[in-house]
Structure 1
Amino acid sequence: MSKVTHQAAIGTRKGKPFIVQQRPTPTPGPCQVLVTPKALALNPVDYIMRDGFNVASFPVVLGSDAAGIITQVGPGVSNLKVGDRVLTFCQAFSQKGAPDFGAFQETVLVPVEFITPIPKSLSYIDAAALPLAIYTTATGYFVQLKVPREGYKPADKKAMLVWGAGGSIGTVAVQVAKILGFTVYATASAKHHDYLKSLGAHACFDYKDADVVSQVVKAIEGDGFALESGYLATGDLKQIVKAVGHFKSPHAKVAAAPFSFNMLWWRLYDWGGVAVEFVVPPPPADIDEFFKFVYTEWLKNLLDQKLIIASPKIELVDGGLGGIQTALGKLKSGVSGVKVVVEL
């Protein structure tokens, strides 16, 4: 028998701490499932939404990253079953905080195209670190940068510059670029360089160096590449544009993951021949097929073949749902090279 209610970390008012309380458990509709999270990862978008951005109305349940067990499937679901271990990209942002769809609760409603079965070798804690970072990097590479889904071969001599590679998005962006056949150049704090090289970065540079752009350009030219593409995980957009623009490619483009209100004028600004696009999903007509490919095919295969790992390193915060407020405070105050996760 399905649960009637469950506990959730609920945002009752703009900017106020979450309150853990009971709320109604939804019933999955066509092509939806219910997931009981065992681990939740936190992201800056969570405290941005808590403070009122992209929220239709309060109360809200937020959270994008979860890993757990399917507890109920809706009509038309044939590829998943009750008891499956999965990671899920929860729809708090696209649903503007609608309580059924946020990860920060004991039962979350998820469309099937955002579900990836996980192998037994992958823990819930590690799996929870991946969903949003996969969304952001796959979208940036496949949609904004137009990388073929099958990737490139070494003979294609493709280079990718990942700027701000030390965090949760950047570390996955490095891995994905390597998987797609790029030779990867990355900027991050020096303390993260060895770790990024273990994930597939060919060369790393300290973004704090005054001549970092010159260092990047010299290394790429020395390796015989002509840089066309860059991925901004975090940091200074002008710096990565300068590096990519140096090569004067007619196809030069940067995909920018960090949200900024300035993105409204990015396309109007003269970036010296470099196209700059904010990472956004494909048009509505293509969006279901795209995410079905990303989560149910592409990511599943990467996990099954152990081609991608959870990154960066996990920092656990105690307290379950009651610890989310503390975890968000830790995240907002600034972390480096870790993914903040709460275990349920």
Structure 2
Amino acid sequence: MSNQAAWLSSEHGQLEVKEAAYSKPGPGEVLIKNHVVAINPIDAKIQEHGVLVKTYPFILGFEVAGEIEEVGEGVTRFEKGERVCGLAIALRTQNLAHAGFQLHTCAIQFAVARIPTSVSYAQAAVLPIGLATAASGLFEPQYLGLPPPGPTPSANAEKRAILIWGGSSVVGSCAIQMAAATGLIVFTTASAKNHEYVRGLGAAYVFDYSNPNIVKEILAAVVGAGVELVGAYDVISEDDTTEKCAEVVHHFGGGVLLATRLGNRPEGVMLGDVRRSVVRPPSPTATEMPVWIAIWADFLEQGLEDGRLKAKPDPIVIKGGLDMCQEGLDLYRKGVSAAKIVVEIEE
């Protein structure tokens, strides 16, 4: 079998499609024949700033969707030919077989989920990294440690709430849905044009992030709802958004402020008794495995099937195969809202 990949040959270089090794799946892994790959902010950041990659040439790409080509030793959940989406973790493992921007990707079975026929490959490809990052912050014990969503909302969850800043983003879209699925009342921010979008994902209260009085309005809404605020998840993670989230959390006696990146602020105490935790890139380690199984094997597969989980945001599809991955990165840098760019490799 042959394989090709869109290679990043050097720091700041353009992607070039060349031959790549065809790797057999290892123990606990599956080999996915990719139909679609997704473009992510971290791909653009690595190419533009030359960060995180230790050795070149390298293959970017963190989300794929396609069909199972082979299964490795010990894999019992999947069979050849099944439609799936998966998380590509080459940046963590430094194993290029695990990269996304190629025709075939090896993925660990606990970061792969079946997708129903009602969901296209392009729709499914928007989910893996957003779902994994949101789930890490919400459910892993070192962060908020909330109970993962089950078939029914958790007991007394309707009396608790969370603030998600940046609800129309990829991570925000997943965080809203998972938090709402646990029964939490979701307060979120978005531009005015995306208010109905985030309400459709399960947000109960939506605020325009450009409103200069937004903090006062959020505080009044939380008090009026009579709920306990368990914390805030700052998906945007700029200095201004972090300060506003910290102010909200501090008002209710402290708690946890999550962020998806460190920005210019030190990790630790941000304001009074507010603890700031930066959600690190997810990796399915032994300690995190219960959360991964609950989200990937249960919520993602079953949620797409029964409608509790929507494949959001909507994909912007670029056709033309791996040669179009660079165009996808260039398009991302021009800016997208409530959408995600995906590249179709094979129909």
Structure 1 segments unaligned to the other structure (5+ residues): none
Q: CA deviation at 1:226?
A: 2.9
Return the alpha-carbon distance in structure 2 between the equivalents of residues 212 and 248 of structure 1. Answer: 19
Return the alpha-carbon distance in structure 1 between the equivalents of residues 31 and 229 of structure 2. Answer: 44
Does 2:245 align with 1:245?
no
Counterpart in the other structure of 1:276: 276
Q: CA deviation at 1:121?
A: 1.2
TM alignment of 1:174-213, pairs within 5 A:
174-213=176-215
Q: CA deviation at 1:94?
A: 1.1
Give the SS at the match of 1:322.
Answer: helix
Give the SS at the match of 1:56.
Answer: coil
Relative to 1, partners in 2 of residues 1:29 and 1:284: Cα closer, same or farther, differing over 3 Å? closer
Q: CA deviation at 1:60?
A: 0.8
Counterpart in the other structure of 1:315: 316
Return the alpha-carbon distance in structure 2 between the equivalents of residues 253 and 78 of structure 1. Answer: 38
Amino acid at match of 2:323: G
CA contact (8 A) 1:282 1:290 kept: no
Return the alpha-carbon distance in structure 1 between the equivalents of residues 272 and 206 of structure 2. Answer: 25
Q: CA deviation at 1:55?
A: 0.9
Q: CA deviation at 1:253?
A: 0.9
Give the SS at the match of 2:204.
Answer: strand
Does 2:112 align with 1:115?
yes
Q: CA deviation at 1:185?
A: 0.8
Amino acid at match of 1:244: V
Q: CA deviation at 1:240?
A: 0.9
Give the SS at the match of 1:308.
Answer: coil
CA contact (8 A) 1:165 1:186 kept: yes
Amino acid at match of 2:50: G
Return the alpha-carbon distance in structure 1 between the equivalents of residues 133 and 194 of structure 2. Answer: 21
CA contact (8 A) 1:59 1:99 kept: no
Return the alpha-carbon distance in structure 1 between the equivalents of residues 252 and 192 of structure 2. Answer: 25
Q: CA deviation at 1:299?
A: 1.8
TM-score if structure 1 supplies the norm length? 0.92
Return the alpha-carbon distance in structure 2 between the equivalents of residues 76 and 155 of structure 1. Answer: 37
Give the SS at the match of 1:260.
Answer: coil
CA contact (8 A) 1:266 1:277 kept: yes
CA contact (8 A) 1:61 1:101 kept: no
State the percentage of identical aligned residues. 31
Q: Could you tell me which of 68, 74, 92 is aligned with 1:94?
A: 92
CA contact (8 A) 1:230 1:255 kept: yes
CA contact (8 A) 2:270 2:276 kept: no
Q: CA deviation at 1:52?
A: 2.3
TM alignment of 1:205-224, pairs within 5 A:
205-224=207-226
Amino acid at match of 2:335: G
CA contact (8 A) 1:152 1:158 kept: no
Counterpart in the other structure of 2:293: 292
Give the SS at the match of 1:196.
Answer: helix
Does 2:23 align with 1:26?
yes
CA contact (8 A) 1:61 1:100 kept: no
Q: CA RMSD in A?
A: 1.8
Q: Give deviations 1:160-201, integer Å, cap 9, x for gaps.
A: 111011111111111111111111111111110011111111
Give the SS at the match of 1:145.
Answer: coil
TM alignment of 1:1-344, pairs within 5 A:
3=1, 5-50=2-47, 51-96=49-94, 98-143=95-140, 144-149=143-148, 150=150, 152-153=154-155, 156-235=158-237, 236-249=241-254, 252-257=255-260, 259-260=261-262, 262=264, 265-267=266-268, 269-280=269-280, 281=282, 284-344=285-345
Return the alpha-carbon distance in structure 2 between the equivalents of residues 275 and 204 of structure 1. Answer: 24
Q: CA deviation at 1:273?
A: 0.8
Return the alpha-carbon distance in structure 1 between the equivalents of residues 35 and 283 of structure 2. Answer: 30
Give the SS at the match of 2:228.
Answer: coil
Give the SS at the match of 2:52.
Answer: coil
TM-score if structure 2 supplies the norm length? 0.92
CA contact (8 A) 2:38 2:341 kept: yes
CA contact (8 A) 1:159 1:228 kept: yes
Aligned residues: 335
